[in-house]
Structure 1
Amino acid sequence: MSETLTERMKTEAAAMGFDLARVCRPDAVSHVAAGLAGFLDKGYNGQMGWLAERSHWRSDPSVLWPQARSVIVLAESYTPDHDPTYVHGQPDCGAISVYAQNRDYHDTVKKRLKRLARWLIAQAGPETEVKVFVDTAPVPEKPLGQAAGLGWQGKHTNLVSRDLGSWFFIGSVFTTAELTVDAAEVDHCGSCRACLDACPTNAFPAPNQIDARRCISYLTIEHHGPVDEDLRALMGNRIYGCDDCLAACPWNKFAQEAQEIKYHARDDLLAPKLAELAVLDDAAFRTFFSGSPIKRIGRHRFVRNVLYAIGNSRDAGLMPVAQGLCEDADSTVADAARWAVQKLSAR
């Protein structure tokens, strides 16, 4: 019965818009504890103290919810229809990570997860319990994804799929239902190190290790306050996230363009002008990024990123924009503006 239910679940997940659905046990990632401890001991988490605060849950999903018997791990593609690195050749424009070029994926994926969870309860019986997670809870989604056979963690630590490449979101449904597990995926990276070599800031101390303190995604999204000056120049025009390691993966040749229209880029976020973004006040920022994951970092951090990009642009025409923010009420924005002025003046 459970095997039949599992196959029906996968069919239902596909009908709901998920590209892949696989199953593992909550205790299938015993190796996570040692890896996470090493990551934290080296301080690679930077200002992300929440990684340490709930490390016991991140280390062992069976502790997070002891009653769970199965974990359904699902993938939803957001593969772009364009080369996301092309904007790096337009220094007067900002580069925004592909996943953030339209609606917040958390909302879209979570709605589908809840639909699948309700379907599972209806099929398995009202005594069945479920919990859904997408990127906002202490769940080691990537290791669970590998344990379930969704893909494997590449040398850049992100999950890679033979079917979807690097461009997909991960969600999970924990349940008390006994489902048939899938075989774990094995590493298919071989000797390739394209993702490691593509990193602008050398954020990978070794294959399968990442120092978040040097990662542009971390610096532009999670890091509060000024960024170290030796890293600012390496950020180029990346103002929210970074896709370089994902875009470099050869497995992307098998990826198909995302079917969900909410993941297709807004025209005004493909290559937005730095001059227009820098002058957004708090209200304009919130309006422009309504419904976007970018909204959560706030105007100050975002404009800080934009000013670093202006400083890296070599475009003297952007000097007045930077000068106009040198006395900004936010000290980090003002610091970034003065740095940008200094860089543009030197060039």
Structure 2
Amino acid sequence: MQNLGKSLGFSQIAVAPLDLSSAEPHLQAWLSQNFHGDMDYMARHGMKRARPAELVPGTLSVLTARMNYLPRDTPSDWQSVEWQRLSKSSEAVVSVYARGRDYHKVLRQRLDTLARQIDAHLTAHAENLGDEGLHYRAFTDSAPVLEAELAARSGQGWRGKHTLVLNREAGSMFFLGEIFLNIALPASEPTSAHCGQCTACIDVCPTQAIVAPGVVDARRCISYLTIEHAGPIDEALRPLMGNHIYGCDDCQLICPWNKFAQTASLPDFDARAGLVGQDITRLLTWTEDEFLRYTEGSPIRRIGHARWVRNLAVAAGNALRQGADARLTQSLQAHLTHESEVVRECVQWALRQYAI
């Protein structure tokens, strides 16, 4: 299976055990504290997230896969390059994973292909598939699945204190996907944790969203605020968001293990024009049609133009606090009559920052 996976761009294929019952108390505690914020879907399916055979009846094995996503032209000092972007208050910074093609589409298509190839292999070797043959469901961040937990328990890495999966040879800059199968496969060996006493990810988080090792309060997380959260952003958090306009990589940029991060083998995740190195001012001038054109096939498109402008307004306010900029002020003023009340309020807040 490793060879099949690598031919499709996956970095590693493994098999996870089905029993995730020991993860249920942590999940329940996280939900009970409302750390999931507006992400109602996290609670909607209850403990099904930790019970693969309940989510997809007939499941006997879960295949896990990871795929590197750093663009192919990523320099060796990429972490320093990204920190430099974040130090330029006028630059709008999009999370690295979102600069290329929508990973949901890339992984889902290739997971389906992998499952079909496995089916063909089993059939060709006359292995017992049962009377019904092979049945599978492929997921990647698209269903009530404990992806990171399944990945860690199958040996893809260990859970870092930021909750992401870390791999000794690849850091954390990769996507995860799963294939639920109706055939029993031996589980892969898990790996041990290697974070030690390091708390770099906890310390660097701008909004202190990592409230304890392995516990993230999504309501404070910049990725959640700029992507999942549709309403107004807490004014107390806005100054802490800097120039992040879609997602946040800070806890990964600071992680020592990401010096081993690998570039993608696919061109899909190469950065698209218009999403990297752009001034906040320029992006604020995009019409909705331009937004849709530049984000076609991108994960960014799903937040919609209004939320995009809201995020840019927060970043603009933080930039204005650093000094006067007539062009930026003008681009903000153009949105004072925006149809969204959330956007209008955020733009007004941003303009007030110039006087602070």
**Cα displacement (A) at 1:31:** 1.9
Question: For residue 136 of structure 1, what is the aligned residue in structure 2?
Answer: 142
Please give the secondary structure, in 2, of the residue aligned with 1:200.
Answer: coil
* Partner Cα distance (1:225, 1:268) in 2: 26
Question: For residue 32 of structure 2, what is the aligned residue in structure 1?
Answer: 41
Does the 8 A contact of 2:274 with 2:294 survive in 1?
A: no
Does the 8 A contact of 2:173 with 2:262 survive in 1?
A: no
Does the 8 A contact of 1:22 with 1:149 survive in 2?
A: yes
The superposition leaves residues 28-61 of structure 1 with CA deviations (integer Å, 9 ceiling, x where unpaired) of x222211111011111011111111012211222
Percent identity (aligned): 39
2:65 matches 1:74:
yes
Selected match of 1:263 from 235, 251, 269: 269
Aligned length: 337
* Partner Cα distance (2:67, 2:309) in 1: 30
* Partner Cα distance (2:295, 2:324) in 1: 27
**Cα displacement (A) at 1:315:** 4.2
Does the 8 A contact of 1:26 with 1:69 survive in 2?
A: yes
The superposition leaves residues 240-268 of structure 1 with CA deviations (integer Å, 9 ceiling, x where unpaired) of 00000011111112222222111121243
2:254 matches 1:248:
yes
Please give the secondary structure, in 1, of the residue aligned with 2:176.
Answer: strand
Distance 1:268 1:283, change over 3 A: closer
2:326 matches 1:334:
no
* Partner Cα distance (1:225, 1:279) in 2: 22
**Structure 2 gap ranges (5+):** 124-128
2:111 matches 1:104:
no
**Cα displacement (A) at 1:24:** 1.7
Please give the secondary structure, in 2, of the residue aligned with 1:169.
Answer: strand
* Partner Cα distance (1:61, 1:178) in 2: 13
Given the two structures, how large is their TM-score scaled by the length of structure 1?
Answer: 0.94
Please give the secondary structure, in 2, of the residue aligned with 1:166.
Answer: coil
Question: For residue 160 of structure 2, what is the aligned residue in structure 1?
Answer: 154
Please give the secondary structure, in 2, of the residue aligned with 1:110.
Answer: helix
> Which region of structure 1 is more displaced relative to structure 2, 286-295 or 52-61?
52-61
Q: Which amino acid in structure 2 is aligned with residue 332 of structure 1?
A: V
Q: After TM superposition, which residue ranges in structure 1, 4 or more long, deviate above 4 angstroms?
A: none
> Which region of structure 1 is more displaced relative to structure 2, 121-130 or 206-215?
121-130
Please give the secondary structure, in 2, of the residue aligned with 1:205.
Answer: strand
**Cα displacement (A) at 1:323:** 1.9
* Partner Cα distance (1:217, 1:195) in 2: 14
Does the 8 A contact of 1:322 with 1:337 survive in 2?
A: yes
* Partner Cα distance (2:94, 2:14) in 1: 30
Question: For residue 59 of structure 1, what is the aligned residue in structure 2?
Answer: 50
2:308 matches 1:316:
no
**Structure 1 gap ranges (5+):** 1-8
* Partner Cα distance (1:97, 1:86) in 2: 14
Does the 8 A contact of 1:280 with 1:299 survive in 2?
A: no
Given the two structures, how large is their TM-score scaled by the length of structure 2?
Answer: 0.92
Question: For residue 280 of structure 2, what is the aligned residue in structure 1?
Answer: 274
Q: Which amino acid in structure 2 is aligned with residue 320 of structure 1?
A: Q
**Cα displacement (A) at 1:341:** 0.5
Distance 1:285 1:267, change over 3 A: closer
Please give the secondary structure, in 2, of the residue aligned with 1:234.
Answer: helix
Please give the secondary structure, in 2, of the residue aligned with 1:173.
Answer: strand
2:247 matches 1:230:
no
* Partner Cα distance (1:203, 1:241) in 2: 13
Does the 8 A contact of 1:74 with 1:170 survive in 2?
A: yes
Please give the secondary structure, in 2, of the residue aligned with 1:111.
Answer: helix
Does the 8 A contact of 1:33 with 1:60 survive in 2?
A: no
* Partner Cα distance (1:131, 1:85) in 2: 39
The superposition leaves residues 79-103 of structure 1 with CA deviations (integer Å, 9 ceiling, x where unpaired) of 3513333211221111100010111
Question: For residue 4 of structure 1, what is the aligned residue in structure 2?
Answer: none
* Partner Cα distance (2:223, 2:293) in 1: 23
Does the 8 A contact of 2:52 with 2:59 survive in 1?
A: no
Please give the secondary structure, in 1, of the residue aligned with 2:14.
Answer: strand
